[in-house]
Every structure is written in structure tokens, then in C-alpha cells.
């Protein structure tokens, strides 16, 4: 994979992640987080922090999931490994919050773990399929 292909794959995967996560946060779960986190939510999204998370998360998916799946010629392996990566990533955040924050809702942790697993798997599969197309495999 050339540097140009790697950057293109990164940007395409980032776009897929952003679209899926915005649908989740903006429509599907918007009321859920407001209901369960209430006053803990900031009135404004810290887009710099959100963007940094997106950039780091996608880099992790590409390094640990998508590129290895492509190298092995098994893009569907990315679905399972991406789901595991998503679970571990979201568990780091949510279980830390559950352990350290007063009144952190267990239901938010459970929903976030399911969401992180789903998101990691879907984005990784999409990234692997895009990578296959990009590399003409």
C-alpha cells in the first residue's frame, strides 16, 4: 500500500465513521444520553476533543484491524477484530467512568459497549472493503 493509498483509505474510513456516529449521536441515541446523563452533558460539543478521538480511533482501526485483514486477504476478519477493538476502546472510557464517577449510569455503560462494538465492527468492515476496492484486490 502506497502512502497515498494509506491516506486515502484513512480519510474514507474516517468519513464512514463520522457519518455512522453522527447518525447515532444526532438521531438514534440523542434523547438517551440526555435522559441518562442530564446535567453531566455539556451544552456545546467540544469538537476538538471529538475530532481527536475520531482521528486516534480510526488510526487504531487501520493499524490493528483493517490493514492486517487486507494483508491476510480476509476483509471480513475486520468485522470481528474491529468489533473487539471497538469494545475495548469504549470499555476503557465507560468502565473508567463507572469506576470513578459518582452516579455514572450502568445503562449508559452497557449501551455504549454495545455501540462501540457495533461501530468498530461496521467501520472496520467498510474500511476493509474500501481498501480492497482501492487496492484493486
- Residue 82 lies in domain: 3-135
Give the pLDDT confidence score for residue 137 in this predicted structure.
Answer: 61
C-alpha torsion sign, points 62, 26, 111, 76: negative
Q: How would you write the pLDDT of the chain (137 residues) with one tens digit per residue? A: 889 999 999 999 999 999 999 999 889 998 999 999 998 989 898 999 999 999 999 999 999 999 999 999 998 999 999 999 999 999 999 999 999 999 999 999 999 999 999 999 999 999 999 999 988 86
Q: What is the total count of domains within the chain?
A: 1
Closest CA to 109 of 44, 33, 30: 33
Residue carrying C-alpha cell 486515502: 8
Instruction: Indicate the length of the chain as a whole number.
Output: 137
* The pTM of the whole model exceeds 0.85: yes
Type and span of the H or E element at 68: helix 67-71
CA angle 31, 89, 120 (to 5 degrees): 75
Amino acid at each position: 500500500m502506497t502512502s497515498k493509498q494509506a491516506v486515502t483509505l484513512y480519510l474514507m474510513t474516517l468519513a464512514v465513521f463520522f457519518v455512522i456516529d453522527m447518525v447515532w449521536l444526532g438521531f438514534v441515541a440523542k434523547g438517551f444520553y440526555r435522559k441518562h446523563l442530564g446535567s453531566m452533558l455539556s451544552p456545546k460539543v467540544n469538537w476538538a476533543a471529538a475530532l481527536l478521538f475520531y482521528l486516534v480511533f480510526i488510526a487504531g482501526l487501520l493499524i490493528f484491524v483493517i490493514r492486517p485483514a487486507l494483508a491476510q486477504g480476509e476483509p471480513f476478519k475486520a468485522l470481528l477484530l474491529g468489533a473487539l477493538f471497538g469494545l475495548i476502546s469504549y470499555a476503557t472510557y465507560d468502565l473508567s467512568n463507572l469506576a470513578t464517577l459518582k452516579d455514572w449510569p450502568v445503562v449508559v455503560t452497557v449501551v455504549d459497549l454495545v455501540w462501540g462494538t457495533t461501530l468498530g465492527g461496521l467501520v472496520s468492515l467498510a474500511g476493509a472493503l474500501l481498501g480492497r476496492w482501492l487496492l484493486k484486490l
